């Protein structure tokens, strides 16, 4: 994910100091690292691939945000998302659909952001089309939790 897309996702999510940002399928951790480094938030990245977990943890250390960012090896479909202020998704539509029950239990006022893939049967409150630095257009969707 290009850095300009990461930044735009965090802007659309209105991340602020003290927020807890969950990134489901966090890959190398760049969203939660940027949330901590640039916005003063705390972040937890959840990733199923152990190699990416190690890489994301190393990236958080290198960025100097290891104290505010945790990377967990986890199955995202078993998580309790109710503690998050922001949940970011860059997952296939079918995976987003499987997360609906968890997203419906989020706190009132939390923010849900999905890149490229909407959530079937749930109209986003905002859709932004972004021309990214890698010359690809991406849709960014936003909902306010709990998902309804």
pLDDT tens figures, 2-34:
999 999 999 999 999 999 999 999 999 999 999
Cβ atoms of residues 130 and 109 within 8 Å = no
Q: Dig out the tokens for 60 from the structure.
A: 């958080």
- Give pLDDT tens digits for 83-133: 999 999 999 999 999 999 999 999 999 999 999 999 999 999 999 999 988
The span from the first CA to the last CA of the chain, in angstroms, equals: 28
Spans of all domains in the chain: 3-144
Q: In CATH, what is the architecture of 3-144?
A: 3-Layer(aba) Sandwich (3.40)
């Amino acid at each position: 994910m290009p850095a300009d897309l990461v930044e735009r996702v965090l802007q659309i999510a209105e991340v602020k100091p003290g927020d807890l940002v969950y990134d489901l399928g966090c890959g190398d951790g760049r969203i939660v690292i940027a949330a901590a480094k640039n916005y003063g938030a705390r972040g937890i990245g959840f990733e199923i691939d152990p190699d990416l977990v190690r890489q994301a943890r190393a990236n958080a250390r290198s960025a100097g945000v290891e104290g505010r960012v945790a990377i967990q090896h986890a199955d995202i479909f078993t998580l309790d998302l109710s503690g998050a202020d922001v949940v970011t998704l860059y997952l296939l539509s079918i995976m987003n659909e499987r997360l609906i029950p968890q997203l419906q239990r989020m706190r009132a006022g939390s923010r849900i952001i999905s890149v490229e893939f909407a959530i079937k049967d749930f109209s986003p409150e905002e859709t932004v089309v972004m021309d990214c630095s890698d010359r690809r257009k991406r849709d960014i969707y936003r909902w306010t939790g709990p998902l309804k």
